[in-house]
Structure 1
Amino acid sequence: MTTTYPTQAGLAAATTAAVRVRDLSLDRARTFLTLLVLIHHSVIPYTHFGHTDPASWIGFDCIVLATDSFFMAMFFLLSGLFLWPSLDHRPRIGSLARDRLIRLGIPFVIAAFTVIPIAYYAIALRADPMLSFVDFYRNMITVGPWPSGPLWFLWVLFIYTFIGGAMYRISRHTLDPLNRLASIGYQRPFLYIVATFAITAALYVPARVYFGPNEWLSFGPFAVQESRILLYAAYFFMGAGIGACHPEFGVISAGGRLAKQWYVWALLAVLPYAAMWGFIGIKRGILGNPPDLPMWYEAGYGLAFAAFSVTVIFAILAFFLRFQRAGWSILDPLQHDAYGIFLVHYAYMLWLQYALYDLQWPAIAKAGTVFVLGLLLSWATTALLRKIPGSHRVL
């Protein structure tokens, strides 16, 4: 049976429209991911197995298991998409590093010295109500630990971007193999998804077995989950490979088969998600929830994790390409403020959770309050910050 691929001549007339549609879809997908980050941080204290608040609900465990398994990988994928086109339009690669330093480095430094200490003071105050903020701040900065919360994404993304720029300097064709794979995915998305699974699983599973799932590499506020360093790099450069040449003819094209089969990938994502719950059941019910799990367990869970990540990522992309291509979306008002919301939300989330801790509310009511107020406060703060002259270069 012969597979028909799109020709340059056949698709050239629709290129401009396709790019416009694709960009709108991806912008909305990125905004959706930002909301998922806020949902994730809103419900974590109220999970059944890992709760830090008296109220809990098992449904929040389902949410956290899903979001933690894919949304940061998807952020890296989307961040890599426009790396090559951005480099194509710059006379000097150093200008990209400068711009990314402004866009990523400055927010990281400012938030590491402001948002993060304010956020974690709420946790410290729960343990020691007499602790002053000055003493807490001084100890965090000088002695540590100095966690970065969700801000770790910024400095890791900067490193990947720097590496990508160096690869581009060596040769603009460095990512051609990944781009050809993405082109095949226009008509055969299943092949592309299987290839992405193979690549990411090969990088993630051995790292998970060796480092374990919860170890973090950290130096001051610079931290990253050891087992996921290569996983996130893979998604970033897979994204860069998609965007390296004619992405409108690739796997995430609005006219490709991925978008038309969005429900297939959504259904496929259920299988590895159920498998992860199966492994959790084995860990708790059969193995007795030990601190150190056997190698076969980590390898099996790692495979399910990698499979769920890739299927749910492309299911979401397919959904947005299929249904969020044009017209108005409820996500649109948040689009320009999404990055700022990501930067500042963590402090609001932790202090709202602190304020609600002693209230005898159901977990759903607490989490819902934290999400709604956290979103509104973060949005308002971002709107104010964007009024600062020159802030548009950062936010």
Structure 2
Amino acid sequence: MSSISHTMATAEAHAAPKAKARNAALDRTRTFLTLVVLLHHSVIPYTYFGHTDPKYSLVFDMIVLATDSFFMAMFFFLSGLFVWPGLSRKGPVQYLLDRLVRLGLPFVICAFTLIPLAYYSFALRQTPDLSFSEFWWKTITVGPWPSGPIWFLWILLAFDLVASAAYLLSPKIIDPINRLSLQGRERPTLFFVVMLAVTAVLYIPGRVHFGAGSWFEFGPFSVQHGRVLLYATYFFFGAGIGAMYLDRGLLAADGRLAKSSWGWAVVALVPYCLMWVLIYIKREILGNPVRLPDWYEVTYGLFFASFSVAIMFVILAYFLRFKQSGWSILDPMQPDAYGMFLVHYPIVLWLQYWMFDFNWPAIVKAAIAFVLTVLLSWAATAGLRKIPGAKHVL
């Protein structure tokens, strides 16, 4: 019997009962990532990358470079983990109908309400006497109609549609990834190398062709051109891991990944520092050109992909290790995390609008924005979830 077959047989023999049980490690990971999103949007006005406030801090540049390099891709990975079990339990048609409610309905509601409300704060800076009704009508009829963070919803729904079609073709189509995950229980480095290789091959050409800042935009539907295949890679690697034996492969609580978080932290730190080296070269040597040389984009793309996969391994390793730790400060927030992601954007932008004219240090403004955004978005979500039927969406 081959080693892979033996691993699968052993996993099947020890498989957990089919009764659904929440995975505390993954719940905490998802909630942590939600807080990372809120932190990212709280500090970005005070950075070189998104300098929309007079105050600035290099620390926030360091945070934004890190978060932008992994957090949305990791959300796709976590979402992918539960696709195949959902498809096998419900069937593709019912699964997609449920996803339309969970993803499509919030996208439509947010696109017509919360997102225009959020960007109205920017418009008032340029036109103080502009009414919200005028801004809203111009946004949905003339544009631009930015989507803010909710672009994630329609892309995830599109990936779910592709996954459903793939499942209809063959439920075993992603078994190779699942076998790789089972090997990854004892050899996470192998999984890392394969995932990094696939990610780099699918991500770097798009970055070279479109550039790092190019976006597809059609009404409220938007996404970065160069990152679509990056997100698809994470989603389907997640789907492969979750297809069978989720807790017996790479993400096993007693696997090698969970025991090696510090090693993966070092692996992540190297490409992160190298990205800063390339940023220095771009600004100080190349003169910060609009179009960067292909060699630069290829090299940066490789470091970006390396850091993205490695930091995901760091976060997964940390939460897997402490899966059995009992209570976590993240646990009370877990039921409301998705809603917080949906409603936080107008809150954080209006807090930043309110603080714009205050001569406070960037660290003070960012701290106020982050703390209040967490508290207010959490309270708003908790209130919304009390509406009959809202828990099916939020």
Verify same fold: TM over 0.5.
yes
Residue type at the aligned position of 1:86:
G
Q: Does 1:365 align with 2:364?
A: yes
Matched with 2:188 is: 189
Q: Distance in 2 between matches of 1:4 and 1:177?
A: 11
Q: Distance in 2 between matches of 1:5 and 1:173?
A: 15
Which is worse superposed, 50-59 or 300-309? 50-59
> Residues 273 and 305 of structure 1 are in contact (CA less than 8 Å); yes or no, is this contact kept in structure 2?
yes
Q: TM-score, normalised by structure 1?
A: 0.96
Matched with 1:245 is: 244
Which is worse superposed, 161-170 or 320-329? 320-329
Aligned-partner SS, 1:293: coil
Aligned-partner SS, 1:56: coil
Which is worse superposed, 24-33 or 255-264? 255-264
Q: Distance in 2 between matches of 1:231 and 1:45?
A: 26
Aligned-partner SS, 2:37: helix
- Residues 112 and 118 (structure 1 numbering): CA distance in 2 closer, same or farther, change over 3 Å? same
State the aligned residue count. Answer: 393
- By how many angstroms is 1:87 displaced? 1.1
Aligned-partner SS, 1:218: strand
Task: Using the aligned pairs only, state the percent identity.
Answer: 58
> Residues 259 and 317 of structure 1 are in contact (CA less than 8 Å); yes or no, is this contact kept in structure 2?
yes
Q: Distance in 2 between matches of 1:59 and 1:372?
A: 18
- Residues 326 and 4 (structure 1 numbering): CA distance in 2 closer, same or farther, change over 3 Å? farther
Matched with 2:80 is: 80
Aligned positions of 1:79-228 closer than 5 A: 79-90=79-90, 92-228=91-227
Q: Does 1:342 align with 2:316?
A: no
Q: Deviations over 1:80-127 (max 9, x none)?
A: 00111111112x321001000000000000011110000000011011
- For structure 1, which runs of at least 5 residues remain unmatched after alignment? none
Matched with 1:70 is: 70
Q: TM-score, normalised by structure 2?
A: 0.96
Aligned-partner SS, 1:147: coil
- Residues 383 and 262 (structure 1 numbering): CA distance in 2 closer, same or farther, change over 3 Å? same
Q: Distance in 1 between matches of 2:235 and 2:39?
A: 23
- Residues 14 and 260 (structure 1 numbering): CA distance in 2 closer, same or farther, change over 3 Å? farther
- By how many angstroms is 1:16 displaced? 3.3
Residue type at the aligned position of 2:72:
M
- By how many angstroms is 1:20 displaced? 8.5
Aligned-partner SS, 2:16: helix
- By how many angstroms is 1:7 displaced? 4.4
Q: Distance in 2 between matches of 1:336 and 1:22?
A: 12
Q: Distance in 2 between matches of 1:5 and 1:186?
A: 14
Structure 1 residue ranges (4+ consecutive) displaced by more than 3 angstroms after TM superposition: 2-22
Q: Distance in 2 between matches of 1:119 and 1:196?
A: 36
Aligned-partner SS, 2:23: helix
Q: Distance in 1 between matches of 2:279 and 2:244?
A: 41
> Residues 21 and 254 of structure 1 are in contact (CA less than 8 Å); yes or no, is this contact kept in structure 2?
no
- Residues 138 and 84 (structure 1 numbering): CA distance in 2 closer, same or farther, change over 3 Å? same
Q: Does 1:377 align with 2:379?
A: no
- By how many angstroms is 1:37 displaced? 0.1
Matched with 2:300 is: 301
Aligned-partner SS, 2:289: coil
- Residues 215 and 9 (structure 1 numbering): CA distance in 2 closer, same or farther, change over 3 Å? closer
Residue type at the aligned position of 1:384:
G
- By how many angstroms is 1:249 displaced? 2.0
> Residues 46 and 55 of structure 1 are in contact (CA less than 8 Å); yes or no, is this contact kept in structure 2?
yes
Q: Distance in 1 between matches of 2:180 and 2:7?
A: 16
Q: Does 1:233 align with 2:232?
A: yes
- CA RMSD between the two structures: 1.9
- For structure 2, which runs of at least 5 residues remain unmatched after alignment? none
Matched with 2:55 is: 55
Matched with 2:31 is: 31
- By how many angstroms is 1:184 displaced? 1.4
Q: Deviations over 1:149-168 (max 9, x none)?
A: 00000000000001101100
Q: Distance in 1 between matches of 2:126 and 2:6?
A: 61
Q: Distance in 2 between matches of 1:132 and 1:7?
A: 64
Q: Distance in 1 between matches of 2:324 and 2:67?
A: 24
- Residues 136 and 284 (structure 1 numbering): CA distance in 2 closer, same or farther, change over 3 Å? same
> Residues 18 and 253 of structure 1 are in contact (CA less than 8 Å); yes or no, is this contact kept in structure 2?
no
> Residues 204 and 231 of structure 1 are in contact (CA less than 8 Å); yes or no, is this contact kept in structure 2?
yes
Q: Deviations over 1:304-332 (max 9, x none)?
A: 00000000001100110012334000000
> Residues 22 and 253 of structure 1 are in contact (CA less than 8 Å); yes or no, is this contact kept in structure 2?
no
Matched with 2:282 is: 283
- Residues 20 and 187 (structure 1 numbering): CA distance in 2 closer, same or farther, change over 3 Å? farther
Q: Deviations over 1:191-235 (max 9, x none)?
A: 100100000000000000000001111110000100000000010
> Residues 265 and 311 of structure 2 are in contact (CA less than 8 Å); yes or no, is this contact kept in structure 1?
yes
Residue type at the aligned position of 2:85:
P
Aligned-partner SS, 1:207: helix
Residue type at the aligned position of 2:60:
F
> Residues 15 and 245 of structure 2 are in contact (CA less than 8 Å); yes or no, is this contact kept in structure 1?
no
Residue type at the aligned position of 1:74:
M
> Residues 18 and 255 of structure 1 are in contact (CA less than 8 Å); yes or no, is this contact kept in structure 2?
no
Residue type at the aligned position of 1:27:
D
Q: Distance in 2 between matches of 1:241 and 1:308?
A: 21
- By how many angstroms is 1:247 displaced? 1.9
